[in-house]
Amino acid sequence: MTKNPNWNYPELVLALELYMLHRPNPPGKNSREVKILSNLLRLNGLADRIKLNKTFRNVNGVAMKLQNFRRFDEMFKGKGLRAGGGLERDIWDRFQNFKKLQKASDTIRRNIETKVESLND
């Protein structure tokens, strides 16, 4: 099995939006919200012609990514997960304005929908 690619900018923006909606206690891997985001990210991967394996942006990975944001969150009293890339910090710093985050997330969702629809043409 090949290693999954690093999370990219659009994926992290969508994950941060979900985190911020439930800050500082993001939903877990069995939640409806994490399942929906996982499915959206997997669809995006398919649209980008990524060969998906069973772990690509699955519910476990999405839930873990949400936990990574806790390390930046002053509202969270623990430490959060230390793993993760530098892009997470950039996304965190850039999108502390929730309206700006929602606008970016909406644009990303529309782009994913467009890519998925074009696969059916």
Domain ranges of the chain: 9-116
Residue 48 pLDDT level (bands cut at 50, 70, 90): very high
**Residue 84 Ramachandran class (φ > 0 left, ψ -120 to 50 alpha, else beta):** left
User: Cα angle vertex 36, ends 2, 60, to 5°?
Assistant: 45
- Residues 72-87 have pLDDT tens digits of 999 998 777 677 778 9
pTM over 0.75: yes
